[in-house]
Amino acid sequence: LKSWMIRFHGVATKYLTHYLGWRRLLERYKTQLNPLICLREALGRAAMQQLTQT
């Protein structure tokens, strides 16, 4: 994690949770990551499910 975070040296710490969220996303999906997965995760799985039911 430390080597990954060094890229963001000088970035405000108020954004740290966003960077850690991206890190979790990258670790969870690895090579399967695509725009639809990013959208689903950003909106929340429940929101995406409601979008597909209409």
Dump pLDDT digits (tens) for 33-44.
899 888 888 887
Q: How far apart are CA 37 and CA 4, in angstroms?
A: 22
Per-residue confidence at 45, pLDDT binned at 50, 70, 90? low
By residue count, the chain amounts to 54
Q: Which of 42, 47, 45, 7 is nearest to 25 (CA)?
A: 42
Per-residue pLDDT of 1-24, as tens digits, reads 778 778 777 777 788 788 788 888
Number of domains in the chain: 1
CB 9 within 8 A of CB 16: no
Give the range of the structural domain holding residue 11, as residue numbers without chain letter: 2-53
Overall pTM > 0.85:
no
